[in-house]
Amino acid sequence: MRAFILSLVALAVITAASAVVLQQMPMSASDVFSSKPNVRL
Amino acid sequence: MTTRSTGRSIGRRVLTAAAVLAGLALALTLGLSSVDAQQAPSSSVRPPPGASVPGGPNVVAPERPGNYDVELWKKVREGLSGQVSIPDRKAGQLVQSDGEAWRNFRNGPLPRVGLWAMVAVVGVLALFFLLRGRIRIEHGWAGRTITRFTEIERIGHWLLAVSFIILALTGLNVLYGRYALLPLIGADAFSAISIAGKWLHNYVAFALMVGLFLTFVVWIRHNFPSWRDIVWLAKGGGMFVKGSHPPAWKFNAGQKILFWLIMLGGLSLSLSGLALMFPFQTALFAKTFAIVNMLGFHLPTELTPVQEMQYATSWHGIVALALIVVVIGHIYIGTLGMQGAFSAMGSGQVDVNWAKEHHSLWAEREIERMEATATAETGAARPAPAE
């Protein structure tokens, strides 16, 4: 039981950390290919 | 005084006349321009082949074969690409026809075969349960236990298990939600669940990767194949005949197969998932196909970014569904299917008789180790004999 609870804690911590890190990164096609506003195409 | 007023009057008349003339000139100019504009032919109208534009620049439209449009669209459907000056280079391809084949697979065989596989495994397990019943400890509970899995082994297992179940449920919603959930809960609720599920799927994926790594590190040394695995497989693991338990170490052949399926499948899911998470930035399948081609295959090794994504989504779905089917069997045998098995991952302790029946070689070694430890402790605690 203790191992199960600890695994849930680990799951929550890893998931939260992933959310924080991934929100700083481009994760969609629009993020990847969006042009900067000062660039004229 | 009179001369000064006469001069002012003349000046006023000259200014008035000049203003009227200027107004007439402006009106005439605008009017003529308007007439010119109405008479000029529209530049957006394409003249017929061989014709020249009357009154316009002396440009002759090129002669084109009669099936020009057919050939043009044929090339377009074959993936003809042009050049674009925007950052998204894949926009140079007008029509990506592979997308049609991908969409047909994604909405046809993939969910259909996946659903049948999941239903089939549940049906086979139900049939097995009806015919064989629960696999019980044949010699009954011994009342003594030995440690099957340490705490770090169980943390790794549960981290992997819980994250896999979350990913499976959110992934199945992507594939089947529109058919199963949407009619039941309505568009608004389904949309909210699907958006939350998508983010959860992305974030929990990293917990699965950590769980995979942890279990790989702690269990790899127990999962190398040996000749005893052939014996175990030949006897069906002793699951079909009562009283027949082929010897096994900590993991039997079935568990070793499961281990490698989970590890290799999990690695493949992780890599294809990362390719989907950061789209159009990897050449995962082109590189993999190049390696596979060394074995004599002839898979395409030059893939466009869009094709890479299509392979990634298809492969991610195939591997995920296959692992879900395998894990359903694993959950069955670890809970309902076998008496005494769940405590291995629950408390970490298993009954000695269970261990002797299902993992006899491992149990003998562990019991000997326990007895040796107990003897050493007893010897150390016993007072030294008097001289």
* B143 lies in the same domain as B168: no
* B298 lies in the same domain as B359: yes
* B183 lies in the same domain as B111: no
For residue A38, give how far its alpha carbon lies from the nearest alpha carbon of chain B (Å).
14
* B218 lies in the same domain as B319: no
* B170 lies in the same domain as B139: no
Per-residue pLDDT reduced to its tens digit, B52-98: 555 555 666 677 778 888 888 888 888 888 888 877 777 888 888 88
Q: How high is the ipTM of this complex?
A: 0.83
Q: Would you say residue B93 lies in a domain?
A: no
* Residue ranges making up the domain that contains B331: 102-149+234-380
What six digits make up the tokens of A36? 């900067």
Within B133-252, residue ranges assigned H as helices are 151-180, 182-219, 227-234
* B326 lies in the same domain as B349: yes
Are B346 and B233 contacting, i.e. CB atoms less than 8 angstroms apart? no
Q: What is the DSSP letter of B90?
A: G
Taking CB atoms and an 8 Å cutoff, what residues of chain B touch A2? 151
* B130 lies in the same domain as B184: no
Q: Would you say residue B337 lies in a domain?
A: yes
Q: Which residue of B has its CA nearest to A6?
A: B155
Q: Is A18's CB within 8 Å of B348's CB?
A: no
Q: Bridge partners of B60?
A: B52
* B254 lies in the same domain as B333: yes
Q: What are phi and psi of B342, to 5 degrees?
A: -65, -35
Confidence of residue B33 (pLDDT cuts 50, 70, 90): very low
Report the mean per-residue pLDDT for chain B. Answer: 86
* B156 lies in the same domain as B141: no
Q: Would you say residue B45 lies in a domain?
A: no
For residue B346, give the CATH number of its domain.
1.20.950
Q: Would you say residue B298 lies in a domain?
A: yes
* B144 lies in the same domain as B157: no
Q: What is the DSSP letter of B147?
A: E
% of chain B exceeding 90 in pLDDT: 64
* B133 lies in the same domain as B271: yes
pLDDT tops 90 at residue B381: no
* B182 lies in the same domain as B278: no
Q: Mark out chain B residues that contact chain A at CB-CB < 8 A.
A: 85-88, 151, 154-159, 162-163, 199-200, 202-207, 210, 277-281, 346-348
- Rounded to an integer, what distance in angstroms lies between the CA atom of residue B90 and that of residue B178? 29
Per-residue pLDDT reduced to its tens digit, B288-330: 999 999 999 999 998 888 899 999 999 999 999 999 999 999 9
Confidence of residue B37 (pLDDT cuts 50, 70, 90): very low
Q: Domain ends where: B191, B222, B253?
A: B222
* Between residues B25 and B210, the one the model is more confident about: B210
Per-residue burial over B61-80, b = 16 or more CB atoms within 10 Å of its CB, e = otherwise = eeeeeeeeeeeeeeeeeeee
Task: Identify from B204, B274, B349 which residue to disrupt to test chain A contact, counting A C-beta atoms within 10 A and taking the largest count.
Answer: B204
Sign of torsion over alpha carbons B214, B215, B219, B224: negative
Q: Would you say residue B5 lies in a domain?
A: no
Q: What is the pLDDT of residue B245?
A: 87
Q: Domain ends where: B194, B222, B250?
A: B222
Q: Domain ends where: B166, B191, B222?
A: B222
Residue type, A41: L
* Number of domains into which chain B is organized: 2
% of chain B exceeding 70 in pLDDT: 82
Q: Would you say residue B67 lies in a domain?
A: no
Are B152 and B218 contacting, i.e. CB atoms less than 8 angstroms apart? yes
Per-residue pLDDT reduced to its tens digit, B118-174: 999 999 999 999 999 999 999 999 999 999 999 999 999 999 999 999 999 999 999
Q: Would you say residue B299 lies in a domain?
A: yes
Q: Would you say residue B16 lies in a domain?
A: no
Residue among B275, B279, B238, B237 at smallest CA distance from B258 = B237
Instruction: Establish if A11 touches chain B: CB-CB under 8 angstroms.
Output: yes
Q: What is the pLDDT of residue B108?
A: 94
